[in-house]
Amino acid sequence: MAMTMTQKILAAHSGLDEVRAGQLVLADIDLVLGNDITSPVAINEFAKLGRDSVFDRDKVTMIMDHFAPNKDIKAAEQCRQCRDFCADMGITHFYDVGEMGIEHALVPEKGLVSAGQLVIGADSHTCTYGALGAFSTGVGSTDMAFGMATGKAWFKVPSAIKFNLRGELRKYVSGKDVILSIIGMTGVDGALYKSMEFSGAGLSALTVSDRLCIANMAIEAGAKNGIFAVDEAALGYIRTHGGAEPVVYEAAPDADYDEVYDIDLTDIEPTVAFPHLPDNARTFADIGNIRIDQAVIGSCTNGRLEDLEAAAEILRGRKIAKGVRTIVIPATQQVYLDAMERGLLKIFIEAGAVVSTPTCGPCLGGHMGILAAGERAVATTNRNFVGRMGHPTSEVYLASPATAAASAVTGRITSPWEVMDA
């Protein structure tokens, strides 16, 4: 059978020669991931299984990132439960304050994922690792518990949508603009339980950071996973970060796809998703004078060094508009250190921003930037649902780091082209 990339990975991990869309398979797992919100539930379910050890202490990781550093007593108790469990189980890859980062930035940075692997995580944005040619997807905490105990998980094999990429991105346009444009085309359920597979000549125009951002938001189109064809850029990233030996799977030339989109990256413009859905995407020809109260630059979607560099280029020598709170959140300790050594933190602080330790923070309405009633924020995060960042009447506008920085300077939703051409 002519299989897609995802189908080939699922077949290999299920010990089968081939699989078909809709088929149920029991597959071996290469990594099980949890965070400080989802892991406690999984730990409780794990206890009910009566197991006294995880299937492989090197293949389970817990990362304290959502409410860390702890914002309240409940958050502290959740992190302590994870900390104690990982100590009891001898978990190799447990990351706490001081060495942690936002999970979907930290996992690839630490070399915990590689091409051809199968990864599950009790967090919907686990699909991020498809940027490196892995099949990775979010699961519930009960599935995480079963995965920790057995090293296996059940899957319904997804069908797929193919995205043929060509051309190159223009200046100040990034992977965030690409994925917002795509979600604007497909809708938030346009890829429901499907694999979004990206390939084509335009792949070489996307950095690994761009790809991580795009794969991260596949779930916002309803997808089971997002996955990129593996090229030298991906292989170089894996080797640089000490990942396991890559296993490269290529979609068959005659693989069956439900839909095929041809996308010229040259046509992509700075794009903003208006409240209250990621598919409410607009370019600046359709954006009026939208005043903002806050700008957030960070998250598992856009908190990598490349993202901070893009924001710093806009903010260098400029001041953030009076009345706009701008919060910059490096995604990992390493990103924080690299940004400091490159002088980016100085640029942010001189512009009038604050810089936080790595945390998910305001992305999920956790802490470090909650919105009051009626306030508006432009954010490089991945969701803008009602009340996502605070009060139910607040509004979140999703954008790239360059657009968020430009908007912070003017005090309204602004294209980076407008600021940099001024």
* pLDDT band of 296, cuts 50, 70, 90: very high
* pLDDT band of 400, cuts 50, 70, 90: very high
Mean pLDDT computed over 275-288: 93
- For 273-421, CATH number? 3.30.499.10
273-421 matches 5-265 in CATH topology: yes
Q: Is the confidence at residue 266, as pLDDT, over 80?
A: yes
Quote the DSSP letter at residue 205: G
Q: Is the confidence at residue 422, as pLDDT, over 80?
A: no
Q: Is the confidence at residue 421, as pLDDT, over 90?
A: no
Dump pLDDT digits (tens) for 188-221. Answer: 888 999 999 999 999 999 999 999 999 999 999 9
Q: Which amino acid is at 136?
A: S
Task: List CB contacts of 369: < 8 A, sequence separation 6 or more.
Answer: 294, 296, 325, 327, 361, 362, 377, 389
Mean pLDDT computed over 60-75: 95
Q: Cα separation of 410 and 407, whole Å?
A: 5
Average the pLDDT over each of 270-274, 342-346, 364-368, 377-381 and give the range with the smallest value: 364-368
Q: Which amino acid is at 161?
A: I
Dump pLDDT digits (tens) for 36-50. Answer: 999 999 999 999 999
Burial of 44 (0-12, 13-18, 19+ CB in 10 A): middle
CA atoms within 13 A on the CB side of 247: 14
Q: Is the confidence at residue 259, as pLDDT, over 80?
A: yes
The encoded tokens of residue 372 equal 């009051």
Question: Looking at residue 1, what is its pLDDT?
Answer: 73
- The mean of the pLDDT values for the chain is 96
Looking at 242-388, list the stretches that DSSP marks H as alpha helix, in order from N- to C-terminal side: 299-302, 305-315, 333-341, 344-351
From the list 151, 108, 105, the residue with the least C-alpha distance to 243 is 108
Q: Which CATH architecture has domain 5-265?
A: 2-Layer Sandwich (3.30)
User: Is the distance from CB of 408 to CB of 324 less than 8 angstroms?
Assistant: yes
* pLDDT band of 387, cuts 50, 70, 90: very high
Question: Looking at residue 79, what is its pLDDT?
Answer: 97
Mean pLDDT computed over 159-184: 97
Mean pLDDT computed over 102-119: 97
Sequence ranges of the domains in the chain: 5-265, 273-421
Q: Cα separation of 149 and 122, whole Å?
A: 14
Dump pLDDT digits (tens) for 122-133. Answer: 999 999 999 999
Mean pLDDT computed over 160-175: 97
Coil vs helix vs strand at 162: strand
